[in-house]
Amino acid sequence: MHVSVVLFTSDLRLHDHPPLRAALEAADAVVPLFVRDRAVEAAGFVTPNRSAFLADCLADLDASLRERGGRLVVRSGDLVEQVCRAVAEADADEVHMAAAHSAFATRREERLRRALESDGRRLFVHDAVTVAVPPGEVTPSSSDHFAVFTPYYRQWARFRLRTAVTAPRRVPVPDQVTSEPLPARADVTGVSPALPPGGESEGRRRMAAYWRHGLDTYEDLRDDLAADATSRLSAHLHFGTLSPVQLVHGARRRGGAGAEALVRQLAWRDFHRQVLAARPQSAHADYRTKRDRWRTERTARDDIEAWREGRTGYPVIDAAMRQLRHEGWMHNRARLLTASFLAKTLYVDWRIGAAHFLHWLVDGDIANNQLNWQWTAGTGTDTRPNRVLNPVIQAKIYDRDGTYVRRWVPELKGVDAPAVHEPWRLPGESRAALDYPDPIVDLSEGRERFSRARDRQE
């Protein structure tokens, strides 16, 4: 009997899964394997919110495999060792997995390839599983990647996507390969109270609901903070419980301005991945440095703490930071505002903000998080790196009647717009009655003051 191993990583689904399809075609049975990689844990990437979501994903994947006559095999430890062990136990000929794009994942993949080949087995790495258009497929004539989104998008939009593959009807799994118990969401502590459920079934339900009730209004409402009208599919894309290829096909089939706008956002996801694949160090180092001399934990401790806890005195910033902790998710416009406030107004190192986001975000993702932070901090791919988003002006546009702020900042629940965005302007008595802090920084000085102060110190 021929056996293949399918290694699941950031692709925790059965629908549109080319590695699983190829493994089934090559063998009589497959070992659907997920390894809880010790190195990922050691890197601090396994946070409560993502662990809880992951537990849901694995439980759902196991249930779907059981409906097809199989089951999921979960192991913990060094990924390469665990895959080789499963391969030996099943006497498998080949391993199939999705291509990944970070430096860590690429090194791990290489190590796995060498280990398998030294034992006479083969590794097949499949593209376009975790992205719609793989890094390197769309490039400018003069470089290995695009550094600006608009020309990238023009080519990306013309790229011929592969057709989606259906979920298999049967997945036979050999008996001799045993699994550890699956992790349970209930065992994870420190999870955000309103963290959404994970898993492919939930992702597909959410996607179908969005096609019916969200897509048509996406373009008009996507920046409206209170409307909460975006797809909220980001965690499903991060864990691969939904296929980006299928999402793009699905949106294009439906058509219209909303679909076009959503597809453009999905292209941003691929854009950041092709930057990260070409410049792996951009996960930590400035992509285009301006030689900033950032404030740090040591020089800006109180401001950083106020930002993290949502008590900066700027209501829209505080609302967003509290949403992040409560849901493990934050609206895109709010991510832009809070990141700009930290990096541009408070002039704090973008890596400090990115680390806080990575801790809480259920969709926390090296490519999207680090490169969006760099975009906002002016060290990344923004063609206007000096733009500063003013949280009061932006709040008056994107939370016009103050509903978003009042939802997350109960201290301001009795205050109408526009005063709710500038409570310090309320007359003395009304202001004094609010248990809400004064702004920690004057917007008109912000970055200038901090950078001059640092200059003077040196």
Contact set with ligand FAD (CB under 6 A):
222, 230-234, 237-238, 262, 265-266, 268-269, 272, 332, 335-336, 339, 357, 361, 363-365, 368-369, 372-373, 376
Q: C-beta of 347: minimal distance to ligand FAD in Å?
A: 16
Q: C-beta of 67: minimal distance to ligand FAD in Å?
A: 27
Q: What residues have CB less than 8 Å from 277, skipping those under 6 apart?
A: 101, 106, 135, 136, 145
The SS3 call for residue 73 is: strand
Q: C-beta of 312: minimal distance to ligand FAD in Å?
A: 16
Nearer of residues 151 and 414 to ligand FAD, judged by Cβ: 151
Token digits of residue 261: 């706008």
Nearer of residues 316 and 361 to ligand FAD, judged by Cβ: 361
Nearest to 294 by CA among 373, 354, 351, 347: 347
The SS3 call for residue 431 is: helix
Nearer of residues 230 and 379 to ligand FAD, judged by Cβ: 230
Q: C-beta of 244: minimal distance to ligand FAD in Å?
A: 8
Q: C-beta of 230: minimal distance to ligand FAD in Å?
A: 3
Q: What residues have CB less than 8 Å from 350, skipping those under 6 apart?
A: 294, 339, 342, 343, 373, 374, 376, 377, 379
Element (H, E) at 351: helix 350-360
Nearer of residues 222 and 295 to ligand FAD, judged by Cβ: 222
The SS3 call for residue 7 is: strand
Cβ atoms within 10 Å, residue 260: 14
Nearer of residues 335 and 421 to ligand FAD, judged by Cβ: 335
Dump the DSSP string for 122-156.
EEEEESSSSSSS-TTSS--TTSSS-SSHHHHHHHH
Q: C-beta of 242: minimal distance to ligand FAD in Å?
A: 9
418: cis peptide before it, omega within 30°? Answer: yes
Residue pair 200/99 in contact (Cβ under 8 Å)? The answer is no
Q: C-beta of 106: minimal distance to ligand FAD in Å?
A: 19
Cβ atoms within 10 Å, residue 453: 12
Burial environment of residue 442 by CB neighbours within 10 A (0 to 12, 13 to 18, 19 or more): exposed
Nearer of residues 27 and 191 to ligand FAD, judged by Cβ: 191
Q: C-beta of 300: minimal distance to ligand FAD in Å?
A: 18
Nearer of residues 10 and 76 to ligand FAD, judged by Cβ: 10
Residue pair 120/18 in contact (Cβ under 8 Å)? The answer is no
Nearer of residues 36 and 206 to ligand FAD, judged by Cβ: 206
- The conformational region for residue 361 under phi > 0 = left, psi -120 to 50 = alpha, else beta, is beta
Q: C-beta of 270: minimal distance to ligand FAD in Å?
A: 8
Q: C-beta of 257: minimal distance to ligand FAD in Å?
A: 14
Residue pair 6/23 in contact (Cβ under 8 Å)? The answer is yes
Nearer of residues 112 and 367 to ligand FAD, judged by Cβ: 367
Nearest to 370 by CA among 10, 102, 49: 102
Nearer of residues 4 and 230 to ligand FAD, judged by Cβ: 230
